[in-house]
Structures are given as C-alpha cells and as structure tokens.
C-alpha cells in the first residue's frame, strides 16, 4: 500500500522531510511541499484528504509564529514557487500568485501605479498578507487587503479549486469569498492567486509630525487630524518603549501636498510640529524586537490617549500604529504579558490579540480573547473544511 509520502511525491510536486526551520509556532511538520501552480496545490490537497493529513500553508514564513500553534501538522505547503504577475495598467488591476513578495506590488516599472497597502513587516508574501490581514498606516484612507482585493483563487481542503471576483474593479461578484479568507490564518483554504485594484502613485508626499505635551492632549489631536479637510491618508502614533513622549505623524498626498501639510500643521494646537519630506524612521514598522511579544489592540480612536496612559503602568511598553483607525501594536515585556492582556481586556474594553510571543510567556493566555462572531466562524470552518485539516487550531477558538 502506498504511504502518504509516496502519494505526495506521486503528484510530481517536490516534497521532502521537514527541517527544524520549518516549524510552525514550535510544531514541526512531517513533510514540506513546494508546488509551482494552482493545479499542483490542488493535487497535494487531494492526496492530503485521502490520507487524512493536516496541512498548513506558508509563504516566506515571516508570520509562522503568529497565532496559535497548530494542533498537528503533517504537511507544510510552501508557496514560494507561485510567483506569476499579470499587470493590466489600463484597468488599474494586477493578478498575482500567492508566493510573490508583497513588496513587489509597491511599484511597477514604467507605470506610476501601486498597491496602496503598507507592509509594516518589510517582508512576506501576498498569501501571508491576506492570511493575517496585516496592514500599515495608509489603511486609514485605502483600507486593508480585504478592501483592495477584487478576486481570489483558493484551493479548498478536498482539492477543489474555487475562484471569485474578476480582473476589473467593476466586477463585484464573489467579494465575500475574498473577505472570508482575509485574516483566516489559512484555516479555510490555500490561496494561490489574488487580484488587486491599484491606485496611481501620488506625485508628492509630505509627513507632518506633532509632539503633544501630554497624553491627555493626544485624543483631541488625533481627532482633529483625522477629521481635517486636508484629508490625511494616515494618522499614526509612536510611543517608544523607553518611556519617552509620544509622537503623532500624519501623511498627506497629492499635487497640493505642501499646502495640505501646512493646513495639518496648523491643527497642532500649539504643540511642536513640522513638515517633513521623508517619513519618520519608525513609520510603517512594528514596535519591539523580532522574536519578542507583539499584540494587536483594536479600540475606538478616541481611546488612544487613555490606552497609552494605561500601558505606562507596565513599564517599557512600545506602542505604535494607526491612531485614526483604532489599530495599535504593543510590545510589552514577556514577564508583563499576562497582566498587560488582562488590563487591556478588562479595564480598557478594547479587543487584544497576542500575535506573537515566546512560548513560555504566552502559556495559559487565550491569544484571541472573546470573539463575538465565533459561532458563525465555526460554521464557516465546517463548511470549508469539515474534516478540520487546514491550519488546525491556529485561529480564534481553536478553529
């Protein structure tokens, strides 16, 4: 009788035993596969279904430590060979394979177009970006990946290939499938292709940095900048982990960027402010150290100042993120993580997810916390993956 490994190799896809570097949040798979087409991914998934293999998809592996460790993993599907790109500049649309580095879409040779999706990690693939729904500063104006995604091809757990959406922005059919996949941590299917709407590259960009004299002044400042008629594309806040004062930065774009930046600067309310031609060094980056603790906080924008005041009690906590969108990242010390999580969830009322943390620091902590939509999410998982073999346990509620 053919073994699972022999069956996987029989698809013609390169498959090899896993190495220590292939571990997913500390769980080592049995094998790693390197498909180069959607058809090859489908073949791998059919064999996995026949043999009851648990599968986790991955691109560059930059976010494999995010989320819960999988309950089990037999096969890691690396999408690095899925790298095609089909750009339609006249339609402001691009079709790309899931293994393409997301940074590739920041510019296109000879055409002033871009995917207006900032990537605070500085690395990662299209598929990984969709799976974790990570987005940077300009989410305030352009939205996240789920807002820019207009089509998707995904291989389901049984090997079925499903598609939705189309190549042109006017085609809205199938948007729901793309929205379901964004932020699902690979629990619903293996994305192999995505179609994104693009935007023209603005001719000018200016950043306005403001240094409020107190955390109490922060909420009013953020609200004023976000509501400005100068229409900033992003309003970010940075509170370094060394305890120094926070800085607020706003980005304006377009032909009148200089005039609009001056209008934003005038909203500083007497706080030190200046217009810059370059982004601050911390712009579009995550706080903390690689391999350390990283939490995502979602809260009303009017609560940003209060949140920063609360986290001050935990010492060297770096906080950074999209103040106007109510999405912040925090990097508390590992030994303070349990108290930090409890305080944010209980006292602040915001939703907190522990994205990444050393295994000993996160032990006993529910990474995702209360999720009101969990019953619906379980029904969706049952529909897409009834045998629970895709990224098993990685998502909220052990989905």
Summary mean pLDDT of the chain:
91
> Is pLDDT at 258 greater than 60 in this prediction?
yes
Task: Band the pLDDT of 166: cuts 50, 70, 90.
Answer: low
Q: What is the pLDDT of residues 320-332, one digit of tens each?
A: 999 999 999 999 9
Q: What is the pLDDT of residues 63-81, one digit of tens each?
A: 888 989 999 999 999 999 9
Other C-beta atoms lying within 10 Å of the C-beta of residue 104? 15
Encode 313-356 in three state secondary structure: HHCCCEEEEEHHHCEEEEECCHHHHHHHHHHHHHHHCCEEEEEE
For the residues 298-319, what does the mean pLDDT come to? 84
Q: What is the pLDDT of residues 171-204, one digit of tens each?
A: 334 447 888 999 999 999 999 999 999 999 999 9
> Is pLDDT at 105 greater than 90 in this prediction?
yes
Cα distance between residue 112 and residue 107, in whole Å: 7
Task: Band the pLDDT of 82: cuts 50, 70, 90.
Answer: very high
Task: Band the pLDDT of 283: cuts 50, 70, 90.
Answer: very high
Encode the chain in three state secondary structure: CCCHHHHHHCCCCCEEECCHHHCECCECCCEEECCCCHHHHHHHHHHHHHHCCCEEEECCCCCCCCCCCCCCCCEEEECCCCCCEEEEHHHCEEEEECCCEHHHHHCECCECEECCCCCCCCCCEHHHHHHHCCCCCCHHHHCCHHHHEEEEEEECCCCCEEEEECCCCCCCCCHHHHHHHCCCCCCCCEEEEEEEECEECCCCEEEEEECCCCHHHHHHHHHHHHCCCCCCCEEEEEECCCCCCCEEEEEEECCCHHHHHHHHHHHHCCCCEEEECCCCCCCCCCCCCCCCCEEEEECCHHHHHHHHHHHHHHCCCEEEEEHHHCEEEEECCHHHHHHHHHHHHHHHCCEEEEEECCHHHHCCCCCCCCCCCHHHHHHHHHHHCCCCCECCCCCHHHC
What is the arrangement of strands in the sheet containing 149-155, beginning at the earlier edge strand? 85-88, 93-97, 190-197, 149-155, 161-165
Share of the chain above pLDDT 70, in %: 97
The confidence score (pLDDT) of residue 362 equals 87
The confidence score (pLDDT) of residue 171 equals 39
């Amino acid at each position: 009788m053919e073994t699972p490994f022999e069956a996987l190799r029989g698809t013609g896809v390169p498959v090899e035993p896993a190495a220590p570097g292939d571990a997913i949040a500390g769980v080592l798979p049995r094998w790693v596969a390197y498909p180069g087409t959607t058809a090859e991914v489908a073949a791998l998934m059919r064999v996995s279904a026949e043999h009851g293999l648990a599968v986790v998809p991955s691109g560059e592996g930059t976010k494999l430590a995010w989320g819960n460790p999988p309950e089990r993993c037999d096969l890691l599907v690396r999408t690095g060979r899925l790298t095609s790109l089909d750009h339609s500049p006249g339609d402001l649309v691009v079709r790309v394979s899931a293994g393409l580095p997301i940074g590739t879409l920041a510019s296109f040779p000879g055409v002033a177009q871009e995917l207006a999706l900032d990537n605070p990690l500085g690395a990662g693939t299209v598929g990984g970006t969709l799976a974790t729904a990570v987005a940077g500063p300009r989410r305030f104006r352009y939205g996240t990946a789920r807002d820019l995604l207009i089509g998707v091809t995904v291989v389901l757990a049984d090997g079925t290939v499903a598609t939705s959406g189309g190549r042109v922005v006017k085609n809205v059919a199938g948007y729901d499938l793309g929205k379901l996949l964004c932020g699902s941590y690979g629990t619903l299917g293996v994305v192999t292709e995505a179609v994104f709407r693009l935007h023209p590259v603005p001719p000018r960009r200016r950043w306005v940095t403001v240094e409020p004299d107190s955390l109490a002044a922060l909420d009013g400042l953020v609200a004023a900048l976000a509501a400005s008629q100068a229409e900033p594309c992003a309003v970010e806040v940075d509170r370094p982990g060394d305890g120094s004062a926070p800085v607020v930065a706003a980005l304006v774009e377009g032909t009148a960027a200089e005039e609009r930046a001056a209008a934003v600067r005038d909203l500083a309310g007497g706080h030190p402010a200046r217009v810059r031609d370059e982004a601050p060094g911390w712009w579009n980056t995550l706080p903390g150290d690689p391999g350390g603790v990283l939490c995502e906080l979602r809260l009303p924008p009017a609560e940003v100042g209060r949140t920063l005041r609360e986290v001050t009690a935990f010492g060297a906590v770096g906080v950074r993120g999209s103040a106007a969108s109510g999405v912040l990242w925090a990097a508390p010390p590992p030994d303070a993580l349990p108290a930090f999580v409890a305080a944010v969830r209980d006292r602040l009322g915001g939703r907190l997810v522990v994205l990444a943390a050393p295994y000993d620091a996160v032990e006993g902590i529910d990474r995702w916390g209360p999720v009101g939509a969990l019953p619906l999410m379980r029904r969706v998982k049952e529909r897409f993956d009834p045998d629970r073999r895709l990224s098993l346990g990685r998502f909220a509620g052990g989905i």
